[in-house]
A and B are shown apart, each in its own frame.
Chain A
Amino acid sequence: MIETQDLSKQFHDFMAVDGVNLSVQSGQILALLGQNGAGKTTTVRMLTALLQPSRGWARVAGYDVSKNGHDVRASVGVLTEQHGLYMRMTAIEYLDYFGQVYSLSPSARKARSDNLLEYFGLAEAARRRIGEYSKGMRQKLALARAMMHDPGVLLLDEPTSAMDPESARLVRDEISRLKSASRTIIICSHNLTEVEALADKIAIIYRGRVLLQGTLDELKSQVLGAPEYEVKFTEAWNSTGLELPKDVEMLSQTPTSLKVRVKRPEEMNPQILNALSSKSAPVMAFQEEARTLEQVYLKVMADAKGREHVQ
């Protein structure tokens, strides 16, 4: 579990992270979104007890990052922005080395590294020098390193950055497999599709501040408003006389379709369908308009920049 309160970091006169409040429960994946330099990596580094907060506090796996740095580091698995592998080592040597750093017994190290190499599909290349690995293999090995001591908290900084789509997909699948009831995961990413697929909660950071956080649905409704639905007809249909429920707003209409905004879809949608049916509308399809995280993100960013411009 990760919890932060007013977490802030100042470098000289630059406020890299400013009053971040986060709460991620066990079994959840939180994604930190933001531009380059928004403060995502600095936040992760504070959560790893690599940087001391200038203000506020953070508890990771039950330990205070300012007071119990050693315990925090022992409980956390980190995938850093740069994979940080030693190129002259083999994968077996590398995992064994980090197993020793995390004080695992020789038998545990052997079992764990064999298991992870198998899990990440690296068993066949285990005795090759890491320098000979492809980018995707390196990233998977770095992820295996982060998992070596089976940590309760995983902090993954740009896990698929600069990877080809195939490798990125592999790593993404691994992360989703790593999700379990007892593990808390934070991902920093620019890849919004990836975040949409993986994250239970999302926090958007801009200039060190969390502008918005919540589930994807919460963010969509908060930023883009109530969901929109499109009704398509099999043939041209005159909607004159159609009475829609109160909380449904008509956005646009053509002879073969109409678009509405629905505040409480679970309650209103059956009523809309009833209204259409009562007027014998030739409904072919009734579907929600696709709204992506990208739309949410871009709108939040545009609003933030707009506010800044006004100020």
Chain B
Amino acid sequence: MFSKLKLVWLVAGRELRDQFRDWRVIAPMLILTLCFPFLMNEFAKQTVDFLNQYNADLILERLVPFSIMIIGFFPITVSLIVALESFVGEKERGTIEPMLSAPLDDWQLYFGKLLVGVATPLLASYVSIGLYLILASRQNLNMPPVPVMVQLFLLTTAHAFLMVSAAIVISVQSTSVKAANLLASFIVIPVAILMQGEAVMLFWGNEQVLWLAVAGVMIIALLLIRVGLAHFQREYLLGREIDVINLRWLWHTFWSNFRGGAGSVGFWYRNVLSAAFRRILPAVFFTVLIAGVSLWMGYDWIMVNTAETIALASPEDLQKMEEQVRELPDLEAIRNSISAPFLFLNNTRAVAVIFLAGLVSFSVLGILLYMVNISLIGGIFALLQLLGVQPWPIFLAGIVPHGIFEIPALMIGSAVALYFGAALVTPQTGKSMGEIIIELLADWAKIFIGVVVPLMAIAALIEAYITPGLLFNVLGS
């Protein structure tokens, strides 16, 4: 194993030496690493002077952690260029073939490039942060506590891994350095948005959420590394494809996969859709399990957090809340505002959003949204129980009739999102990543149009025309 790891280091070492001999890489990195802390320190000094006039202590307290996060981020963005051109650059320079012809395994090549892609920006980030901390300590600024410092270092590391692993996926899949650089915006923009969210958390001072952010970013980075390895194909790196958007090919591939050679709707349902459904069956099984966990989580969360609130509430308040729950809803108003088309569009949109969220996060965000949807049911169940209302009749009348169709549709729709992410991180030889994505999109379209939409339509009709009546009877009794 050691000798195999030695080859990873060998690949990284050569690249690292090459980088440090290129002033075009070194100069901007050095300028940014060494100059930015001074700029940030000056900015902090001015901000402190300004905020001191208004006694804005809280903002002052959070200023240093925020600055550290920003300082750590900048060298990573610049060094992204190195990772972006790791494979495609060698391909363009014609140096890739001797490397690919050598007795190196795919993972050795991949991790060698990843290592050098991460090491340089991280080194620059740590140096930059260290320099800033020295400068800030001389300004008598409040230093962040140790746990926050640890979080910031981990967050910087996670950002580096996330961006570099994404850049290497792009580098393996791109046909030219130009294309890779253009695609880099798909890394920089989401990470910049993520940073804004993290900055909010930092100013909010919720450390626990920041830990979740560290974990989330690391998970996505690991999934990206897995995707890169799964779709690393020597064959593709040697290809001579040029950067042309072939809409005709895209559509043809999608349509032929969607149609699957079916001549009639019946045949399509029996053979094409059923085959797609069989493929996602393990994912369906997992979404059922996740649903169970989510129900319990929703139930437990309400039981733990709301029980205390209810326990502290006065008897009058409790009485008022119970009356509100028992109060018969204005079913006429509901009928007027919530029509079957509205419900249908709303529910199908929710499934589509779960898929789209899953699409950009290897299923992670999609499944989180699915969990939120399902946990609401557990939460409501717990709330009713806490209020002393029998939840079962309300559930049987208000959820089960349309839920029989709606919940399986939600589960199946979410299962496709899960399947999409899992398929993306699974090695598939003989196909480009583009082909795999189009095939997965076709599978999603089959399930969505063939299963989710009909189930949601039936559920919407029941929810609009049958559920209110049943609920009225139950609540009335």
Q: Do A and B bind each other?
A: yes
A residues bordering B, Cβ < 8 Å?
A: 45, 48, 50-52, 70-71, 73-74, 76, 78, 80-86, 88-89, 97-98, 100-103, 142, 145
* Contact between chains at B98 and A102 (CB < 8 Å): no
Q: Shortest 9 CB-CB distances between A and B: which pairs?
A: A82-B94, A74-B103, A84-B98, A80-B97, A78-B101, A73-B103, A84-B95, A88-B21, A101-B102
* Contact between chains at B94 and A83 (CB < 8 Å): yes
* Contact between chains at A102 and B21 (CB < 8 Å): no
* Contact between chains at B235 and A84 (CB < 8 Å): no
Measured CA separation A73–B105 after assembly (Å): 10
Quote the shortest CB–CB distance from B110 to chain A (angstroms): 15
* Contact between chains at A86 and B95 (CB < 8 Å): yes
Quote the shortest CB–CB distance from A49 to chain B (angstroms): 8
Count A-B contacts at CB 8 Å: 68
Q: By CB atoms of chain A within 10 A, which of B94, B97, B98, B104 has the most?
A: B98
* Contact between chains at A84 and B94 (CB < 8 Å): yes
* Contact between chains at A52 and B103 (CB < 8 Å): no
Quote the shortest CB–CB distance from A65 to chain B (angstroms): 12
Quote the shortest CB–CB distance from A14 to chain B (angstroms): 12
Quote the shortest CB–CB distance from B393 to chain A (angstroms): 61
Q: By CB atoms of chain A within 10 A, which of B17, B100, B104, B429 has the most?
A: B100
* Chain A residues with CB under 8 A of B14: 86, 89, 97
Quote the shortest CB–CB distance from A165 to chain B (angstroms): 23
Q: Considering the complex, give the chain B residue whose CB is closest to the CB of A9.
A: B235
* Contact between chains at B101 and A52 (CB < 8 Å): no
Report 9 cross-chain contacts, Cβ distance below 8 Å, ordered by A residue: A50-B100, A50-B101, A51-B234, A70-B105, A73-B101, A76-B101, A84-B95, A84-B96, A101-B104
* Chain A residues with CB under 8 A of B96: 84
Q: Considering the complex, give the chain B residue whose CB is closest to the CB of A97.
A: B14
* Contact between chains at B101 and A80 (CB < 8 Å): yes
* Chain A residues with CB under 8 A of B429: 52
Measured CA separation A102–B7 after assembly (Å): 10
The answer to whether the Cβ of B18 comes within 8 Å of any Cβ in the partner chain is yes
Beta-carbon contacts of B1-38 to A below 8 Å, as 1s and 0s? 00100010010001001100110000000000000000
Quote the shortest CB–CB distance from B338 to chain A (angstroms): 50
The answer to whether the Cβ of B238 comes within 8 Å of any Cβ in the partner chain is yes
* Chain B residues with CB under 8 A of A98: 98, 102
Quote the shortest CB–CB distance from B27 to chain A (angstroms): 16
Picked from B22, B95, B103, B235, the residue with its CB within 8 Å of the CB of A50 is B235
Interface residue total, chain B, C-beta cutoff 8 A: 25
* Chain A residues with CB under 8 A of B102: 73, 98, 101-102
Beta-carbon contacts of B116-143 to A below 8 Å, as 1s and 0s? 0000000000000000000000000000
* Chain B residues with CB under 8 A of A101: 7, 10, 102-104
Q: A70-B105, A101-B7, A101-B103 are in contact. List 7 more A-B contacts (CB 8 A).
A: A50-B238, A51-B235, A51-B238, A52-B429, A71-B103, A73-B101, A73-B104
* Contact between chains at A48 and B10 (CB < 8 Å): no
Picked from A45, A83, A102, the residue with its CB within 8 Å of the CB of B103 is A102
Q: Considering the complex, give the chain B residue whose CB is closest to the CB of A42.
A: B238
Q: Considering the complex, give the chain A residue whose CB is closest to the CB of B104.
A: A101
| B contact patch SS | helix
Measured CA separation A48–B99 after assembly (Å): 12
Measured CA separation A85–B17 after assembly (Å): 15
Measured CA separation A50–B7 after assembly (Å): 19
Quote the shortest CB–CB distance from B33 to chain A (angstroms): 22
Measured CA separation A100–B431 after assembly (Å): 32
Measured CA separation A61–B3 after assembly (Å): 24
Quote the shortest CB–CB distance from B250 to chain A (angstroms): 14
Quote the shortest CB–CB distance from A254 to chain B (angstroms): 55
* Contact between chains at A80 and B98 (CB < 8 Å): yes
Picked from B18, B94, B98, the residue with its CB within 8 Å of the CB of A145 is B98
Measured CA separation A241–B322 after assembly (Å): 133
Given the interface pairs A52-B235, A73-B101, A88-B18, the reply to whether A97 lies near B94 with Cβ below 8 Å is no
* Chain B residues with CB under 8 A of A51: 234-235, 238
Given the interface pairs A50-B235, A52-B235, the reply to whether A88 lies near B22 with Cβ below 8 Å is yes
Measured CA separation A82–B100 after assembly (Å): 13
Measured CA separation A101–B4 after assembly (Å): 10
Beta-carbon contacts of B70-112 to A below 8 Å, as 1s and 0s? 0000000000000000000000001111111111110000000
Q: Considering the complex, give the chain A residue whose CB is closest to the CB of B100.
A: A50
Q: By CB atoms of chain B within 10 A, which of A48, A73, A86, A100 has the most?
A: A86
Measured CA separation A82–B97 after assembly (Å): 8
Quote the shortest CB–CB distance from A23 to chain B (angstroms): 22
Measured CA separation A52–B99 after assembly (Å): 17
Measured CA separation A82–B93 after assembly (Å): 9
Measured CA separation A103–B108 after assembly (Å): 14
* Contact between chains at B18 and A86 (CB < 8 Å): yes
Measured CA separation A259–B253 after assembly (Å): 63
Quote the shortest CB–CB distance from A213 to chain B (angstroms): 25
Q: Considering the complex, give the chain A residue whose CB is closest to the CB of B97.
A: A80
* Chain B residues with CB under 8 A of A102: 102-103
* Chain B residues with CB under 8 A of A45: 238
* Contact between chains at A100 and B10 (CB < 8 Å): yes
Q: Considering the complex, give the chain A residue whose CB is closest to the CB of B103.
A: A74
Quote the shortest CB–CB distance from A147 to chain B (angstroms): 13
Picked from B98, B105, B430, the residue with its CB within 8 Å of the CB of A78 is B98
Quote the shortest CB–CB distance from A176 to chain B (angstroms): 23
Q: Considering the complex, give the chain B residue whose CB is closest to the CB of A83.
A: B94
* Chain A residues with CB under 8 A of B235: 50-52
Q: Considering the complex, give the chain A residue whose CB is closest to the CB of B94.
A: A82
Q: By CB atoms of chain B within 10 A, which of A45, A48, A84, A97 has the most?
A: A84
* Chain A residues with CB under 8 A of B99: 84
* Chain A residues with CB under 8 A of B18: 86, 88-89
Given the interface pairs A86-B14, A101-B7, A103-B3, the reply to whether A48 lies near B103 with Cβ below 8 Å is no
* Chain B residues with CB under 8 A of A73: 101-104
Measured CA separation A203–B17 after assembly (Å): 43
* Contact between chains at A70 and B94 (CB < 8 Å): no
* Contact between chains at A97 and B10 (CB < 8 Å): yes
Quote the shortest CB–CB distance from B142 to chain A (angstroms): 46
* Chain B residues with CB under 8 A of A81: 97
